[in-house]
Structure 1
Amino acid sequence: MKMDKKLSVIELLKQAVKLLLSNINLPLIIFLCSLPLFCFLIFFELSLQTTLSFTYQFLSKQVNVEKDLSQNDLFVQATNYLTYQPLYQQRNIWEDLSENDLIPCLIKTSLLYFFPYTILDLITTTTIVAASSTVYTSKEEPLGLLDLVRRSIKICQKRLGGCLITSLYVLLLSTSVFLFFLPFFLLFFFGFFSHWADSLNIVSLVHQRQTLLDLVPFLIYAMVVLVQATLFMYLTAKFIKWSAGWNMSLVVSVLEEDGDEGVYGSDALSLSAWYRKGHEKCDVWMMLMFLVFAVVTRMPCLYSKCSLSSSGKGVLYTGFYVGLICVGNVVKWLACVVRYHDCKTRILRNKADVEQAKPLMSGKETGGK
């Protein structure tokens, strides 16, 4: 690898695949440690699909209620919507929630995510990072299975406590950002596109002669949609950028050597940001690619409502795309390990060059005097 050249996304993925195939024992260890997470994810994804399906049905019903309510003045409609005064306040929405069992599904899915999934994902991630880094930095012949397992377990035992603290930081940050991001997402997709597009009848505005006053609701609609679209894309880009830093901080917590406990928590986040300087754009594209991959693989099951299917095909399809997501996560963490060692090597080499240059500069100054 040429150290003077920064790794692009394609080169980083190639290095990750090359690392995975460099030792036949590494895929075996990754498969064994990922198996419990894979089995749990099938159950979790089925619960998530049911929750998303019920949420979509509930929001669609509320949008339909808005459409059914008669309003003679579109400008009053726009004012009510922009001031966040729902038009369906006269309806009992909690009755619909109890009928669809939405609240129990939300609670169940949230609990599954925060406790079993987070712990299993942390153990799996720590093992993958430790084993792949051991293979990546090994100067010996391909390590044997028992030797690789022993070294990986030794790293995990030392760093698991620090990784747990870092993961709690990441969980708190990601959950806070997601809860802040969620209202904009729901408003963008279920608010204006579902309700206003039908109410304003854009085709009639274009083909019929309209006064300036008649165009006011359409102009308000266009301006708000433009603002929402801009904010939506900005928040998505920020979330992806922060996700790259959070992932690198977990790698730092596993691999960084600073005493027995290592680096964790806010120190790991700070060190991750320092290592990633100059690589932010590449990391954003890589994380965006994995995010799109995870969303695209889930869409067929969400569209066909696999969790609500009475046959076993829904579980089979869910297991298939969960396997794809697990493979994608393995490649992602291997790429993060390669990125970590590449960035650390550059920093250490630059530091060594500076230290070597100091005696030369001092000698020139002495000679000049």
Structure 2
Amino acid sequence: MNEKLSVMELLKRAAKLLFSNINLAFFLFFSSLPLFCFLILFELSLQTTISLTYQFLSQELDLGGYFFLQDHKDLSENDLIPWLIQTSLLYFFPYTLLDLFTTTVIVAASSVSYTSGEEEPLGMLCLVQRSAKICRNRLVGCLITSLYVLLLSTSVFFGFFSESVNYLFITSLARDYQRFHSKTAVLFHAVVVLIRGTVFIVLAVKFGNWSAGWNMGLVVSVLEEEEDGEDGKGGIYGTNALSLSYWYGRGHEKRDLLMMLMFLVFAIATRMPCLYSRCSLSLSSSGNGVLYTGLYVGLICVGNVVKWVACVVSYYDCRARVLEKKDDVEIGSKAKGFAT
């Protein structure tokens, strides 16, 4: 308890928990199948939306000199808006619910296996029964917490999007100015890149810190019990769960930030090749787009499982340290009271 667990130690414990219990691995695999199947459809829609948005903004801001577009064609708002609406609806309704269900099952099952204290791995039936009981008692609380997280994360996303649009707009102004003052335009563009890049990095770091707290808040909503709760039904959720998660995470900010950034970079890196080759727009000629999308969606689902198992391990580590400090303070207060 004296040494804090590093990111690699958290990941090693998560991997050990998965590989040491084949029943847990199979259970989490089958639990992630609905999300995996839906993500293929969602990612294809997202790829098309991103590609069309990029092409539309480049067209409207006249960025042809800065960005090279293959198979360029003129787009209107009527071509883009239906895809934006479709992708947004898929994200806010089916994806959010499926992701919440998958997260709750992963956290519950990982907690049952991690705290079982048995030498032999739990059987599949026992694992399913215990996990289902936790999910049944905490699903409403997790839904409330996830709504808070969805609102906060969506606000941050719009911040990233506005920064990107502002950068493209300023770049278009620099391109027009370059026709008359080329050296000044290059210097102006360099300053803009420096400022916008700094803002983007700061937002990414803040998002990493916040997402670590949000993820811990969801874990708290699944596993934490109120002191006066009956039969494990008195869960903590909403703002209380988020507040408790930040309390548990004090002193572990750098570790949690590094872990969230690792998974964020992994998710972006797995998407980039398919976005670059525009898999969704190549479906008319072949079915390779679905194959490539299914491949990286599978990698994302595996990373999602490892991330939430690591969050469970981090939760128990942070909680044990907080309770240990609380006991030390109480013992010290009692000793001081006796001494006086």
TM-score by length of 1: 0.83
Residue 221 of structure 1 deviates from its aligned partner by 4.2
Q: Retained in 1: the 8 A contact 2:18–2:25?
A: yes
1:252 lines up with 2:224 in the alignment: no
Give 1:187's aligned residue. Answer: 166
Give 2:271's aligned residue. Answer: 298
Give 1:96's aligned residue. Answer: 76
Residue identity matched to 2:117? K
| Partners of 2:318 and 2:180 in 1: CA distance | 53
1:36 lines up with 2:34 in the alignment: yes
| Partners of 2:101 and 2:157 in 1: CA distance | 23
Residue 353 of structure 1 deviates from its aligned partner by 2.2
Residue 191 of structure 1 deviates from its aligned partner by 3.4
Give 1:242's aligned residue. Answer: 210
- Count of aligned residue pairs for this structure pair: 325
SS at match of 2:61: helix
Where in structure 2 are the equivalents of 1:178-217 lying within 5 Å?
178-188=157-167, 190-193=168-171, 196=174, 199-200=177-178, 205=183, 215=184
Residue 21 of structure 1 deviates from its aligned partner by 1.5
Q: CA RMSD in A?
A: 2.3
SS at match of 2:236: coil
Aligned-pair identity (%): 64
Residue identity matched to 2:139? L
| Partners of 1:352 and 1:123 in 2: CA distance | 35
Give 1:347's aligned residue. Answer: 322
Residue 187 of structure 1 deviates from its aligned partner by 2.4
Give 1:108's aligned residue. Answer: 86
Give 2:18's aligned residue. Answer: 20
| Partners of 1:37 and 1:332 in 2: CA distance | 15
Residue 195 of structure 1 deviates from its aligned partner by 5.8
Unaligned runs of 5+ in 2: 66-73
Where in structure 2 are the equivalents of 1:1-369 lying within 5 Å?
3-64=1-62, 96-98=76-78, 101-140=79-118, 141-188=120-167, 190-193=168-171, 196=174, 199-200=177-178, 205=183, 215=184, 220-258=188-226, 259=229, 260-309=233-282, 310-363=285-338, 365-366=339-340
SS at match of 1:347: helix
Q: Retained in 2: the 8 A contact 1:192–1:225?
A: no
Q: Retained in 1: the 8 A contact 2:208–2:260?
A: yes
Unaligned runs of 5+ in 1: 68-93, 206-214
Residue 219 of structure 1 deviates from its aligned partner by 5.3
Residue 109 of structure 1 deviates from its aligned partner by 0.3
Residue identity matched to 2:251? G
| Partners of 1:127 and 1:202 in 2: CA distance | 61
Larger radius of gyration: 1
| Partners of 1:227 and 1:109 in 2: CA distance | 31
Q: Retained in 2: the 8 A contact 1:177–1:239?
A: yes
Give 2:71's aligned residue. Answer: none
Structure 1 residues 222, 201: CA separation in 2 closer, same or farther (over 3 Å shift)? farther
SS at match of 1:113: helix
Structure 1 residues 320, 221: CA separation in 2 closer, same or farther (over 3 Å shift)? closer
